[in-house]
Structure 1
Amino acid sequence: MKKLVLIILCFSLTSCNFGNWGDNTTTDPVWSRYNPITLTTAEFENSIEIQEGKVMIESSKIYIIGDYIFINDKRSGFHIFDNTDNSNPVKKKFLKAPGATDIAIRNNTLYINQATDLVVLNLDYTNFDIEIKKRLKNVFPELRSPDGEYFFEENKVVIKWVEK
């Protein structure tokens, strides 16, 4: 009986790949059903901007402050609505922030989780100008694919995964 267990254990272990533990040089997740959408670090760090309102693709969290509603378009940014007349919210702008899924606001300061970074910015509600005050890098864990795969390539940030 012990020999049988030992043989099964040996065959099980030979099917494992021990050689790649700790090796983060893989650029393409081999077994994933998803492809990573990435930006270079420079593109990622300069990607936040105010744009004209656009069509919502995948709505997520909603945040209300004063007369404004912020609706997250998952991993793309935030739609900003003027809710002065709460029976008729008016779409004003889109805050592009690739990789973002959540926001917190205090006064005119916005705190955004943008993929792996926490970004602090000021928003002028009058003319919708933004000023990035601080970027805290790697506060949040790297985004994994829905099937659990990681992607690592020097100077690249995963902002979302799409099915192959």
Structure 2
Amino acid sequence: MKNKLAFLAVVSVLLLHSCIHFGGVDDDFIMTSNYEPIIIKRTAFESTTMLENTPRAIENSGKIYVKGNYIFINEVNEGFHLINNSDPSNPQNIAFIKVLGSSDLSIKEDIIYANNATDLIAFTIDESSETLTITKRLEHVFPQIWSPEGEYYYALEDDDIIVNWELIN
């Protein structure tokens, strides 16, 4: 019985020892990623949201939102396609709402809310003048956008904002 207990104690100590890291540098471990962040400084970033009256082709669609006769289709981390669906048998792609780092939106009355990378923005669209006006911006509401490979640390300066990730390999 004593031999069995001694054997179990030795095995337990060896197993626990293999789970504990005592520090030091592992020169063989290098964290790599197949993606590189696309970074914009805050001063430039805040002026990138706009209404483009020329529609874009849908390439990497995300969430879809329907409001009245309009369909909003997210182009992941780029913005939203604006589709006029007043004739459901012939929907028309009429514009693109450029909102970098976007993945979702919501609409209440005539105000559109969207994530703009780390910020939450509220904006309106004036159809007659074909303009977009940001009515409110809340900075740093959301974390930086993760790499498509998952959470990945990347050294950023205080005014850096990741708006997308680019495949490099």
**TM-score, normalised by the number of residues in structure 1:** 0.82
Change (3 A) 1:15 1:134: same
CA contact (8 A) 1:143 1:150 kept: no
- Which of 102, 106, 109 is the equivalent residue of 1:107? 109
1:163 is aligned, of 150, 154, 167, to 167
Tell me, in whole angstroms, the C-alpha distance in 2 between the residues paired with 1:67 and 1:127: 19
Structure 1 stretches (4+) deviating beyond 6 angstroms?
A: none
Find out whether 1:84 has 2:93 as its counterpart. Answer: no
In 1: Cα distance, 2:83 partner to 2:19 partner: 60
Structure 1 unpaired stretches of 5+: 18-28
**Root-mean-square deviation (Å):** 2.2
The aligned residue for residue 25 of structure 1 is none
- 2:32 is the alignment partner of 1:34: no
How far is 1:160 from its partner? 1.3
Deviation readout 1:100-158 (Å, 9 max, x if unpaired): 11010122211011111000111113343111111100111121212320223222100
Q: Secondary structure in 1 aligned to 2:104?
A: strand
Amino acid in structure 1 at the alignment position of 2:122: V
1:96 CA displacement: 0.5
Q: What does 1:53-92 correspond to in 2, within 5 Å?
A: 53-92=55-94
Q: Percent identity between the aligned chains?
A: 32
Conserved 8 A contact 1:32-1:147:
no
Is contact 1:33–1:147 with CA below 8 Å preserved after alignment? no
Aligned with 2:96 (options 94, 97, 111):
94
* 1:130 corresponds to: 132
The amino acid across from 2:43 in the alignment is: A
The one-letter code matched in structure 2 to 1:147 is G
Greater Rg over alpha carbons, structure: 2
Change (3 A) 1:43 1:8: same
Partner of 1:43: helix, strand, or coil? Answer: helix
Segments of structure 2 that go 5 or more residues without pairing to the other structure are: 1-9
Give the aligned residue type for 2:108.
Answer: R
Sort the Cα spacing of 1:88 and 1:9 in 2 relative to 1 into closer, same or farther, 3 A.
closer
* Residues 144 and 151, structure 1, Cα contact 8 Å, conserved in 2: no
Q: Per the alignment, do residues 91 and 16 of structure 1 end up closer, same or farther by CA in structure 2, a change over 3 Å counting?
A: same
What is the TM-score with the length of structure 2 in the denominator? 0.80
SS state at 2:77 partner? coil
Residue 81 of structure 1, CA deviation: 1.0
Deviations 1:78-110 (A, max 9, x none): 010111111111111100111011010122211
